[in-house]
Amino acid sequence: MMSPPVPAETRHQLLVGEDDQGERLDKFLATELEEFTLSRERLQGLIKNGQVLLNQKSETKPSTRLKEGDTIEVTIPEAQPIPLEAELIPLEIIYEDRDLLVVNKPSGMLTHPTGRERIGTLVNALLAHCGDSLSGINGMIRPGIVHRLDRETSGLLMVAKTDPAHFHLSAQLKEKTARRNYRAIAQGQFKTEQGTVDAPIGRNPKNRDKMAVIPDGRAAVTHWKVLDRLDDKFALLELSLETGRTHQIRVHMAHIGHPLLGDPLYGSGLEKILKLKTQGQLLQAFRLSFTHPSTHERLTFEIPQDPEITRVWHWLAEDSTLQSN
């Protein structure tokens, strides 16, 4: 059993500006501390446990509405070691040096452990490969994890080995200088060759396991481009993100009436009608571009199309041909 590095206690002082007037405390903290990729649940826990001072007084209600000029002090306590098992799981490492790794996560693998699943994740594999050489900013469960991919989404991920590298890479995501491109198979007829979805995303008020486009959600922007079509029933897309909200591409494409094929949460279930077996949503992070935190060299990595996306696309093309005859 191995324990990831333990980050020391940190304190952060924040000032509420005019644009944040009326914002919920927990949502404001999620935005301002975005580079630490703290979950909304963890932030709410910090508030309820008295780790947040509002105008120098303890504030324990996550829903408290803020006013312009409010001062906030947040204490993120030193995380307690949680033993995680290092597992000799094969990793496809695209790039590695003393600061970071770029890995190709397969579909079906969790990025990091959860309260219910503690083995078989990318983090378990990274602990076996890197030992103690992973950043500790994200706490015990997410050592080295700068950003994540959903379990059934395959593709490229940055992993930080040091805290300075982690800060640098996280800042690039926040400042939108790190670029992420995806491939996906979506349903329906696209009337144009490209477009943008600019719609805020938040927790679905009717189903807490899902996200949704909601008026008071966090800003989210997704760009899409049609690469290929099949009888105006399916499209092979390239997508890029300006923001990194949970399930962003899946939510946005479903929102505009083009859900991803195979998506168990936001899809139409068409694959069941077609009797098509998939490993979840057909989505791959195929290109990643960022500036190296030490050398400041611009790095771009690209991998071939996921074989599962290719297999399904060919199956759909053959099925379409049979139906037209």
pLDDT tens per residue across span 238-295: 999 998 888 999 999 999 999 999 999 999 999 999 999 888 999 999 999 999 999 9
pLDDT reported for residue 4: 42
pLDDT, tens digit, for every residue of 72-125?
A: 999 887 655 557 889 999 999 999 999 999 999 999 999 988 767 889 999 999
CA-CA distance, 283 to 121, in Å (whole number)?
19
Looking at CATH, the fold of the domain delimited by 92-175 is given as Pseudouridine synthase (3.30.2350)
pTM metric for this prediction:
0.77
CB 319 within 8 A of CB 274: yes
d(CA 204, CA 267): 15
| 275: its two tokens | 């009797």
CA distance 264 to 150: 12
Amino acid at 56: Q
Which phi-psi region, left, alpha or beta, contains residue 294 (left: φ > 0; alpha: ψ -120 to 50)?
A: alpha
**Residue carrying the six token digits 């996200």:** 211
pLDDT tens per residue across span 140-170: 667 889 999 999 999 999 999 998 999 899 8
DSSP reduced 3-state for 101: strand
Residue 312 is inside which H or E element, if any? Answer: helix 307-324
Terminal CA-to-CA distance of the chain, rounded, Å? 59
- Told to judge if 150 belongs to the known catalytic residues of this protein, a careful annotator would answer yes
**Pairing label, strands 52-54, 57-58:** antiparallel
Helices (H) and strands (E) in the chain, counts: 7, 15
What pLDDT, in 10s, does the model give residues 181-236?
999 999 999 999 999 999 999 888 888 789 999 998 889 999 999 999 998 899 99
Closest CA to 84 of 113, 108, 61: 113
Burial class (CB in 10 A: 0-12, 13-18, 19+), 270: middle
- What is the length of the chain? 325
DSSP 243-291: S--TTHHHHHHHHTT-PBTT-TTTS--HHHHTT---SSS-EEEEEEEEE
**CA dist 241 to 65, 81, 325, Å?**
30, 34, 40
- Which run of H or E residues covers position 146? none
Query: What integer pLDDT is reported at residue 131 of this predicted model?
Result: 86
- Nearest-angstrom CA–CA distance, 182 and 134: 26
- Catalytic residue, chosen from 20, 26, 99, 150, is 150
C-alpha to C-alpha distances, 103 to 41, 155, 264, nearest whole angstrom: 28, 8, 25
Residues 125 and 105: their CA atoms lie apart, in Å, by 11
Please tell me the CATH code under which domain 10-76 is placed: 3.10.290.10
Q: What is the CATH number of domain 179-324?
A: 3.30.2350.10
10-76 against 179-324: fold identical: no
**Domain locations along the chain:** 10-76, 92-175, 179-324
Q: Which DSSP state fits 33?
A: T
Give the model's pLDDT for residue 142.
76
